């Protein structure tokens, strides 16, 4: 007879992450998760109110994990090198955890304070990286939005299999990020001339 696993929220989220990374967020169910954990579905309700709450917790976990990847990449770097590093970390996170990333962009409750705090930590990290360029505050926010759009757009198209031409996708990504960096330098130069 097999020993039952002692459940806690961390174990539940780890297994749920494995499931969504392998099968996709839309395939996640309490029944499938219970099967993966080798418990009966009612056992999960001791830790969660249901699938809605599970997806919310996955969203928060996804944003936190993305922040960790980007923070580790930024350590010891600044300027252009830091932008390249955090951008590559973002891509790496999505490639390694496609389901968890999907969860981090499709949350049931956008007003959840834990989610907002996690999202703000990512924004503040990118703003700190951009400090090197001495951008005006409003322009720095525009640049954060621009970089997020580039990274989310690129990873979304890649996840959907949209880059099928026989060209190196990583080279395309490098060109894209370098173009973004050139744009920051142009904005900085223009800002200093005015």
Identify the sign of the CA torsion 123, 125, 130, 134.
positive
Domain holding 144, by residue range, is 55-193
172: domain CATH number? 1.10.357.10
Whole-number Å distance between alpha carbons of 15 and 29:
12
Do residues 43 and 33 touch, judged by C-beta distance below 8 A? Answer: no
Neighbours of 21 (CB within 10 A): 17
pLDDT digit string (tens) for 106-116? 877 888 999 99
Domain count for the chain, please give it. Answer: 1
Q: Is residue 118 a part of any domain in this protein?
A: yes
pLDDT digits (tens, 9 = 90+) for 54-104: 999 999 999 999 999 999 999 999 999 999 999 999 999 999 999 999 999
pTM for this prediction: 0.91
Give the model's confidence band at 8: pLDDT under 50 very low, under 70 low, under 90 confident, else very high.
confident
Residue 39 lies in a domain: no
For the segment 112-124, the average pLDDT, to the nearest whole number, is: 95
Question: 1 or 90: whose pLDDT is higher?
Answer: 90
140 in a structural domain: yes
**Banded pLDDT at 4 (limits 50, 70, 90):** low
């Amino acid at each position: 007879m097999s020993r039952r696993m002692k459940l806690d929220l961390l174990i539940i989220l780890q297994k749920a992450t494995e499931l969504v990374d392998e099968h996709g967020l839309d395939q996640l169910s309490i029944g499938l998760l219970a099967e993966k954990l080798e418990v009966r579905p009612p056992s999960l309700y001791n830790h969660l109110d249901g699938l809605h709450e599970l997806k919310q917790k996955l969203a928060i976990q996804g944003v936190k994990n993305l922040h960790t990847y980007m923070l580790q990449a930024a350590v010891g770097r600044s300027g252009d090198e830091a932008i390249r590093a955090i951008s590559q970390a973002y891509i790496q996170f999505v490639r390694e955890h496609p389901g968890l990333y999907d969860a981090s962009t499709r949350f049931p409750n956008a007003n959840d304070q834990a989610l907002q705090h996690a999202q703000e930590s990512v924004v503040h990290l990118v703003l700190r990286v951009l400090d090197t360029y001495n951008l005006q505050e409003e322009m720095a926010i525009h640049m954060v939005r621009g970089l997020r759009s580039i990274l989310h757009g690129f990873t979304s198209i890649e996840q959907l299999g949209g880059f099928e031409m026989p060209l190196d996708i990583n080279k395309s990504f490098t060109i894209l990020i370098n173009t973004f960096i050139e744009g920051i330098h142009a904005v900085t130069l223009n800002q200093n001339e005015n």
